[in-house]
Amino acid sequence: MRFGLAFILLFLSSLSAWGQEKDLITWNSIQKADSLQLNGDSRFLLVDVFTDWCGPCKLMDKNTFHNEKVAQFINENFIPVKLNAESKLNISFKGKEYKWVNYGRSGLQSLAYVILGGNLIYPSIAFVDNKGQTITIINGYFQAEEFLKIIQDLKIKLEKYQVKEQ
């Protein structure tokens, strides 16, 4: 009987792991990304602002961010960050504290509000410099090929911005 129970538990645990895909992008917390920039990493933050209920956000994760070319370009050229816009955790970023606030039906992480400039559209991909300033935002769902082209073009524009700011 114990052998049968152990076999069933092993089988069920393998089924739950089977459906999970490994992230190709090395996602960071916003705090880790802040630390990387403070320690000299000059890359812009690519902040994926999402919610748990957002269908297009899940499609971006499944299709766009699991594309090898997209993942490789993001990992090499940006500091990738995932930010749940409804996270109730307190977040420290660029020396300021951000908290969850009661807003709408479920509330909002105030850092998401700041990064998106109050324009709460999901998914949103924000590009943030080492001072914590949002430089530009891409809203909505994109197929992998289109998204790659957009961020490749943006990378060139961000490099020009970075040179101008120095």
Give pTM, 2 decimals: 0.85
Mean pLDDT confidence for 153-165? 86
pLDDT averaged over the chain? Answer: 88
Range in 2-11, 53-62, 89-98, 104-113 the model is least confident about: 2-11
pLDDT in tens, 58-90: 999 999 999 999 999 999 999 999 999 999 999
CB 25 within 8 A of CB 71: yes
Pick the CATH number of 25-165 from 3.40.50.720, 1.10.1240.10, 3.40.47.10, 3.40.30.10: 3.40.30.10
- Return all residues near 143 (Cβ < 8 A) that are at least 6 apart: 63, 64
pLDDT at 105: 75
* Residue 1 pLDDT exceeds 70: no
d(CA 109, CA 27): 19
* Residue 6 pLDDT exceeds 60: no
pLDDT-derived band of residue 21, with 50, 70 and 90 as boundaries? low
CB 95 within 8 A of CB 20: no
Helix axes 68-77, 144-165, angle to 10 degrees: 10
Higher pLDDT, 141 or 102: 141
pLDDT at 163: 72
* Residue 20 pLDDT exceeds 60: no
